[in-house]
């Protein structure tokens, strides 16, 4: 009878050992993290604010870098709206977050158009444009893809299929986090706060 009692205990005991072997979950960034982080590729491009937009000028702030275009029907408005919400929910700390929107469509996105477009979401956001060659080099440096395709909407003429992630750059100018399209404003806010506090 005693041996049966021990037998009954064997599997449950093993299960308890398996439970004990599991440790707590690490609560880190919600999005993709680069380890070790590298210096974010720099740029200085004509900006929507009337002067050159240089990444280095934002040292000391967290930068949310987005590549897109103002005629984008689906992706860019969603991304910028989420970043506007993040900025608003940061409260006074929003001054330490800079959203930079670099166009993938320099033919149509001049500084004035970018100013109107990004300003619609938040007047503190800045847009940047440049020559095809400058922008192509920048895309290569970040791994961004941008392909021009005919639009189903004749009024738009063409669209640009482009990478839709947000690149988060820390206060020291290092590329730290890749936020895939579709992440919630809560998750983006969480990651931005981690960078602001680090």
Partner 1 sequence: MRFLHSAWILSVLTAVGAVSAAALVPVQPGSREQLFEIPKGTWARRMAGAKAEILPAEIRLVLGVKDVLVLRNLDDVPQIFGPTLIMPGQSLRLPFEVASEYQFACTAHLNGEMTVIVDDGPTSAPSRLRWRLAALSKMAF
Q: What is the binding site for partner 1 (CB under 8 A)?
A: 1-2, 4-6, 8-9, 11-16, 18-19, 21-26, 28-36, 38, 141-145, 163-165, 167, 178, 180, 182
CB of 55 to partner 1, least distance (A): 16
CA gap 9, 65 in Å, rounded: 57
Q: How far is the CB of 29 from partner 1 (least distance, A)?
A: 8
Is 21 or 133 the residue whose CB approaches partner 1 more closely? 21
CB of 7 to partner 1, least distance (A): 9
Question: In terms of CB distance, is 40 or 126 closer to partner 1?
Answer: 40
The minimum distance between CB 35 and partner 1, in angstroms, equals: 5
- Greatest CA span in the chain, whole angstroms? 88
Q: Which is nearer to partner 1, 112 or 141 (CB)?
A: 141
Both tokens assigned to 151:
């639009």
Residue number, 111 or 191, with CB nearest to partner 1: 191
Long-range residue pairs from 171-174, CB within 8 A, at least 24 positions apart, any chain? 171/59, 171/60, 171/61, 171/62, 171/96, 171/195, 171/196, 172/59, 173/39, 173/40, 173/42, 173/55, 173/56, 173/59, 174/37, 174/38, 174/39, 174/40
């Amino acid at each position: 009878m005693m041996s049966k009692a021990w037998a009954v205990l064997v599997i449950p005991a093993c299960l308890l050992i398996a439970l004990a072997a599991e440790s707590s979950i690490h609560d880190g960034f919600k999005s993709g993290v680069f380890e070790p982080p590298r210096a974010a590729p720099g740029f200085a491009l004509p900006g929507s604010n009337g002067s050159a937009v240089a990444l280095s000028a934002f040292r000391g702030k967290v930068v949310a870098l987005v590549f897109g275009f103002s005629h984008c029907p689906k992706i860019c408005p969603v991304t910028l709206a989420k970043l506007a919400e993040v900025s608003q929910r940061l409260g006074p700390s929003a001054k330490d977050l800079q959203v930079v929107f670099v166009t993938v469509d320099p033919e149509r996105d001049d500084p004035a158009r970018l100013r109107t477009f990004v300003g619609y979401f938040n007047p503190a956001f800045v847009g940047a444009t440049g020559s095809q060659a400058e922008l192509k080099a920048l895309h290569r440096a970040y791994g961004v893809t941008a392909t021009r395709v005919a639009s189903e909407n004749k009024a738009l003429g063409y669209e640009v299929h482009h990478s839709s992630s947000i690149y988060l750059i820390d206060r020291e100018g290092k590329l730290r986090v890749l936020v895939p399209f579709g992440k919630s404003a809560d998750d983006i806010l969480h990651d931005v706060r981690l960078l602001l506090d680090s």
